[in-house]
Structure 1
Amino acid sequence: MDQVCIQIRGVCKRYKSAQEDSLSEVSLDIMQSDVFGLLGPNGAGKTTLISILCGIIPVSSGDVRFFHNGTPYSNAERKSRIGFVPQEYAFYQELTARQNLDYFGAMYNLSQNRLKERREHLLEVLGLEKAADKKVGTFSGGMKRRVNLAIGIIHQPQILFLDEPTVGVDVQSRNAIIRYLQQINQGGTTIIYTSHHMSEAEEFCKNIALIDHGKLIAAGGLQHLKAEHQVENLQTLFINLTGEEYRD
């Protein structure tokens, strides 16, 4: 039986001096070991919701709870068991890939032996081994994305948040990143993912939620939603539900 991993109930968020809510009465269940796509146009509220789930910003009202095998996490457990890969690069450009992984691994209190094991594993599987001792600032966009990912998963989080993890990279890097994410999901990691690449999201995600203007407009199994709305692909579903106007 599937178990709830993240329970979101009636979450609202209004920033100071804002005239409208950035999120309004959002309720969702994300299941354990899912690959869950959180999708929507620019400014829809996706990053706000991820920031709330990661504990970066508080809700204005509502409730968020995390579970593992049916048991609620404490706040301390949640922080140690989640990983976050932001859209922006979150590493030190003047350090090498190996030094960055050492630094962030130490922040997660990994033992020296465990840190070395994880560092070398990630450098190898993400194709960074040959450039491991070069400054990250000299890397290509695809390599920087893979360093960003390695930092977010160095501690083997049980829940992984990904905000546009493949933006601005070539096809080879994108395929390599998605392939590795599928592997860790098969190992039990729950993944919550945002992207503007609809074809990538359709291939990668099992379940999705569409958010627009801070409100949940659709949620459920991807195949079920396509059948319900009588569309052939996720991009058509997205356009039909969110419209075609500019969202810059």
Structure 2
Amino acid sequence: MADELLFTKENKIATITLNRPEKLNAFHDGMLADWAAALRECQADDGVNVVVLTGNGRVFCAGGDVSGFSRSEGNRALQMSTYLRQHVHPVARAVDALQKPYLCAMNGPATGAGLDMALLADIRYAKRSARFAETYVKVGLVLGDGGAFLLPRLIGLTKALEMFWTGDFVSAEEAERIGLISKAVDDDKIMEEIYTLAERLANGPTVAISLTKRAVYQALRSDLMSSLEAITGPMGVAASTEDHIEASTAFVEKRQPEFKGR
């Protein structure tokens, strides 16, 4: 991994850290390739139960570093389309394939594609001082990294369109109120809070957690009857795990279960 994107694993938790603070963690092609590769590795590694995304410095992510496009020659439409398909979208595809909790600790403001990258996470915590904006409109662009799909599902159509069309910032408190983030956290507690959640999930019934994630996302793209039928198989799998047997026994014995992750 390059120094501009850090990737570590410890105690069943993998951490991906955007590490380009002098550029407000704006990502470039190499960072994106490493990011997607890290996510794919997390999915394949049975020793990783939870993935945490965060950034170094005062900003979470200012989006893509596409400064070169303003000076580029040739077919700019083709260049931008190719950039999205070959570099940006592989991260979203890797997230979509990740069947483990993906948590985001937003250490500061997030704008444009930087916000969209955070929206890909299952759960987002943010510093109280952070602010968020969909700033594509301010540079004459449209949503390129999943924001048009993700944000309306999180905060509703009209509020999402307001953010898209104005590019205005919302505070962490407002973001929590409308559901853009799960929790606004005191600035000095952000990593403590996200790792508390990560550790709880990493040491929980991981098969059930993974199957639940899959069922929820499938349901968002389906209808009730299809979702009811689709859950019958995963329920059978979960019911056969050692974790379910242990939890059932612990309930009868009035004690806390000791999950093994299988």
Would you say same fold, with TM above 0.5? no
Structure 1 length normalisation: TM-score?
A: 0.31
More helix by share: 2
More strand by share: 1
Structure possessing the higher relative contact order (Cα contacts under 8 Å, 6 or more residues apart): 1
Structure 2 length normalisation: TM-score?
A: 0.29
**Which structure has the greater CA radius of gyration?**
2
